[in-house]
Structure formats: C-alpha cells, structure tokens
Chains A and B, each alone.
Chain A
Amino acid sequence: MSQPLVEIKNLTKVFKIGGGLGLVSRRTIKALDSVSLTIPSDRAAITALVGESGSGKTTMARIILGLLEPTFGEVLYKGRRISDWLKKNRMEYLREVQPIFQDPYSVYNPFYRVERVLEMVIKKFRLASSKAEMREIISKTMKDMGLRPEDLLGRYPHQLSGGERQRFMLTRILLMRPRLIVADEPLSMIDVSLRSIFLDHLTSFKDKLGISCLYITHDLNVASYVSDSILVLCHGRVVEAGPKDAVIEDPLHPYTKLLISSIAIPDPKRRWKEKTDLTSIESFEKLKAGEGCVFSARCPYASEVCKEKVPPLQQIRSERKIACFL
C-alpha cells in the first residue's frame, strides 16, 4: 500500500485551563489520548469521525488544519509532519488541506461581502492572474455549484440564508480543489431539507474530483449515509474503526453498540426497544488520566481490568479495529 495521505500516530493533546497567578488551581484536560488513524491516498474516501461532545473531534480537526499544535505524537501528511509543512511549505499544505466549519454564519467576516472568502484564496494561492480572470473564475465556479452569481455576489453574509452560506463555502472548496476536506459538523446548523444538496456535493467531489474528506460529526445517521469508513471516538480515544457497513450493522465495541442503539431513527416503526436507564447515562466520576478504559464507568460489561488498564487499539478482522478487553 502506498504512503497514506494522513497518518496520525499516538496523537495526544492536553489543554491546561485556569491557573495564572497560581491562585486558581490548574486543571488539565486530555482532549485526545494516543489517537491513531490513517486516511489512505490511493482512492478518495469520506472517513467519518464520530463522537459526542467532549470526545475531542473538533480538537482533532483543528490540529490537522494546523490551527492547534499537538502535545505528543505525530501527525503526518504525505509522510511529513504537519508542523514541518507549516513552517517550510505552509501555502502548499494549505492548498491541499481545507476546512468546512460548523457555523455558516460566523465563518464570514461581517464587514466584507461574501465573495471576499473566494477572492482571498484566489489571491493568496495565485489562482488568477488578473482581476477580470478572478471574476470569471468566481462566476464559473458558482455556476458549477448550481448557484447564481447574480443572486449572491455583492451581498453581505447576513443577507444570505444558512444553507446558501454553507453552499458558498463548498464553492470555495471547489475553487481550491484540495486533496482533503476537514468538515466539522457542517450540517448541524442547516435545515434538514437542504442537507441532501450539501451531502450530494461532498460525494460528487469525492467521485468526480478525487477529494477525500474527514467528516466529523455526532450524527450517526448522516455518517452512515455519506461515509465509507467510520471511526468512533470516546473521550479522546478511538474505540472502534472499520468500514461503514460493518460498524453500523455489526458494532463490536460496547460504546459503539450503545451509540447505535441510542440514535433516533426517523421511522415510527423502528422505535427504541430498550429504555435507557436514566440514572446511568451520566455520572460524576471523573476519569483519572491514563487509568483504565475511557468507557469503563458506563460499560455494562466492565470488569476489573477495564478500570485499570487502557485497552489498545487492535486489528481484529480485516480492516476492523477495536479497543476493548472483550
């Protein structure tokens, strides 16, 4: 197998909060704990990173985008460390790795018109040699996306709807043609009826343009619809990884099983069978760093060893990995 596009080895990110003058005690939060994942380069794929709040998924996105630095571990892009890319070949790296953020409103600077986000990348990455060419490229790309330039150009962000703004972000991606999109919950702030257009575009980017995507979400419904493979993140650790169909239909890790059984399926014929025990869904037990499996507090199968040792991520069958002592 050729060198993977993205390879993450034992990535750990620790945040320190509080402190200052030493009057307030400092707390450390381990957002990510020895996370490893690989995104292949031989074919374009959409990899879903699924996790709840606090799982560290946004932190992961920010590290890959270069907005945050890892505490330990290596994050490699095409075999080179990202910190190396950013120091020596920053523009080349950014040309290939681009985000789609969650909030389609605050991603636009309210002082400027919306097309500025496109003009910015055209200028910075020298995608046009003159102003006229720039306008042409913008117009053409918008039409390729199914947007009408005369409707949207010249407007300010608050004049567009959330769906339009997010599609405009996709236009930016189309303009740049990166190798990898890091999408952080891109649909959570758009209406349901507009989501399919967005997802269809992502899929066509993959199929027609070979653009891979790391799709970060808490919504397994969407992940199961759009992704090729799924990674499940829990409290900063990867607990299961594998091809989408396998993980959804045959989840192995207890956390994955719990997650899947908890999703609200939009079909009144497929209602939840087992009731969640309200006293068990959340607890005050703070997990001590490094001690035991992250899920042990809630796991119905937890045993002594689970509370003491951290289960490593192991390959079980072809292409499937889980981190569990069962």
Chain B
Amino acid sequence: MESESMSVLEVQNLKIYYESVWGSYKAIDGASFKAYRNEVFSIAGESGCGKSTLVDGILRLVKPPGYIPEGRVIFEGTDLLGIPEDELRRIRWVKIAYVPQGAMSSLNPVIRVEEQMTDAMIDHGSMNKEEARELAISMLKEVGLPVEVARMYPHELSGGMKQRVIIATAIALKPILIITDEPTTALDVIVQKGILELLGSLKEKYGMTVIVVSHDMAAHAQIADRIAIMYAGKVVEIGSIHDIFEEPLHPYTKGLISAIPAMGKKSIKGIPGLAPSPLDWPQGCRFHPRCPYARDICSEVEPSMKEVSPGRHLACHP
C-alpha cells in the first residue's frame, strides 16, 4: 500500500505547545508521519490525544498562546511552516482542502448554499460568477445532492446534506490533499456510510490524498488504507489498516482494537486507568501507567518511533 513515490505530506517531529497560567501544555510533542498520493490515511485516537491540534499545526492554524517550537510540515516539497502567509493562502483550498469538525454548523444560515459555495470558489480559484455557479452545480451532483439544494438555505437541509455541501465545496477546486476532522459525528448510520464511501471514492476518482481524523475505529476500518494511532500527543504506531487490526503491535493499539464493540464479537476489553492530562505527561513512555507489558525502562526512557518493518512504524521498547 505504501508506494515508493514521494509523499504528498510529510510531518517531521512536529511539536505544538501552549503557554497557560498553569504551565506549558505540550499538546503535541514530536509527531511524524507520511501520507502518499491516492490513499486514505487515517489518524485515530481518543479524546485528548491531540489529533485536532495536530491538524491545526499542519495547516498553520495554531493561535497564541499556542506555538510551534519545532518541526516541519512538508507538502509537495515545501515546508508549510516556513512560507509567507500569502503563499500559504494560495495553497489553501486550491491544493489543500480542510473540513473541520462540526463544519456543518458553520454554514451561514442566511446565505443560500449556492452563494456560499461560489464565494469560496471565486475567492481561491480564478473564475467568474458564472463559471463558479456551474462548478457548484456539478459538485452537488458529484455528492449526490439534487440540484435544488443550491438555491436553498442551510437550515432547510439535514445534517448529512450539509456535510455533503461542505465536502462538495472542498473538492471543487480539485485539491491534492483533503483533511477531514470527525466527518461523521452526529450523523445517522446510513448517512455515515454514504459520507465515508464518498470520502473513500475521492482517491480513486481524483487521485486525492484523503486524511481522515476520527476516534471512530470502525470508520477507519472501512475506508482507510493506512492508519496512524495517536496517544497523549504522540504518534505511537503507523501501519496498513489490515496490519494494525490483525496484528497490532503497540499495547495501546491492542487495547483499542479489543475495546471496540462489534456485531458478532463476544467480548470486549477496555483499557484500565485514564488518559493523562497534557500538563502532566507521564515520564518515559506516556502509556506505561496503563500498559500491561510495562517494564522499568518504560517509565524512564521515552521510546522513539522506529520503522520495524517496511511501512510499519512503532514507538515502543522491544
């Protein structure tokens, strides 16, 4: 699954810290991964692991008191963290599209759908109103929405429809990379399937790289090619979706997989203890207090990410 071609997005040792009254809050502390063309790359983790913060960092949306002390985000050969603001603007939407969490509620309720779509297109693409309108209509068809939706207002649409409008706008300019954060929360099961399939189809139809950030492991299982597991601000394991589910290597991944209720599964096991707080990451490996295999070295030395087999990365003491 991992091609030898150059990666579309490469994150190297990204760190995102926040300064607060209570101390330095190390939300992301050295995350690295690569995403390639034509694949669905998933970032999975539970609440508090920092996945949304990671996306903020990649897109340079981190605001003070947050800052990026270290790291590189290489997109098509350029470090996004180093380029000037207007160059970044030209890349956003045209080459990298972003569908944030809860985007459906960010649609302006008093402006028609069509206008909101075309506004974004005219802003970032170089086309006039007529062309934008035509593009909007064809995009709506792409996502399976009836043409009438264009003239409607957001509040007349259901959650699933709004999400599809957002996705339609995001892919309109045929970006190379699209990042979606929790694309299916608050949506019904049947609609969820539709949206996930839509996202998965983007890679075949347009050769896009689709990064899906979500806590829903089942969603990842259905559409991802490769997946990165995050815990406590770090990436702990990366691999192909099949490898991760069949042979999870990191103890946290193992715990996560066995904790998911599924039809036909006879028993599920949770992970004891609680996720640590970013102000007080445990010493050494951050998972060691909850790890059933923890040894002395785990509480002293933080394991670094190593490629244990082609395409398989793991941060754990052997």
Interface, chain A (partner B; CB < 8 A): 52-53, 161-164, 191-197, 199, 218-222, 224-226, 248, 258-260, 262-269, 271-272, 275-279, 281-282, 284
Contacts and interface: CB of A to CB of B under 8 A. Distances in A.
Interface in B264-310: 264-265, 268-271, 274-275
B197 A275 contact: yes
A265 B218 contact: yes
B19 interface: no
Given A192-B260, A221-B262, 8 more contacts: A52-B188, A163-B274, A192-B215, A195-B261, A196-B268, A196-B269, A275-B197, A282-B161
Contact of B197 (A195, A220, A222, A272): A272
A192 B224 CA distance: 19
Nearest to B272: A197
Contacts of A278: 143-145, 164, 194, 197-198
Interface string B141-162: 0011110000000000010110
B192 A262 contact: yes
Contact of A267 (B144, B194, B198, B245): B245
Given A195-B268, A272-B222, A279 B189 contact: no
Contact of A271 (B217, B222, B256): B222
Contacts of A262: 189-190, 192-193
Contacts of B9: none
A191 B215 contact: yes
Nearest to B158: A282
Interface of B: 46-47, 143-146, 158, 160-161, 164, 188-194, 196-198, 215-219, 221-222, 224, 241-242, 245, 255-257, 259-265, 268-271, 274-275
B240 to A, nearest CB: 9
Given A195-B270, A279-B146, A218 B218 contact: no
A131 B217 CA distance: 46
Nearest to A263: B189
Given A195-B261, A221-B261, A264 B161 contact: no
B221 A265 contact: yes
Given A193-B271, A195-B261, A281 B245 contact: no
B221 A281 contact: no
The residue in B143, B218, B269 that gathers the most chain A C-beta atoms within 10 A of its C-beta is B218
A266 B268 contact: no
A290 to B, nearest CB: 23
A52 B159 CA distance: 13
Given A262-B190, A264-B219, A268-B245, A279 B144 contact: yes
A276 B257 CA distance: 26
A69 B105 CA distance: 32
Contacts of A194: 270-271
A264 B192 contact: yes
Contact of A266 (B143, B194, B217): B217
Contacts of B261: 195-196, 199, 219, 221-222, 224-226
11 contacts: A193-B255, A193-B259, A224-B263, A264-B196, A266-B262, A267-B245, A275-B197, A276-B190, A278-B198, A282-B160, A282-B161
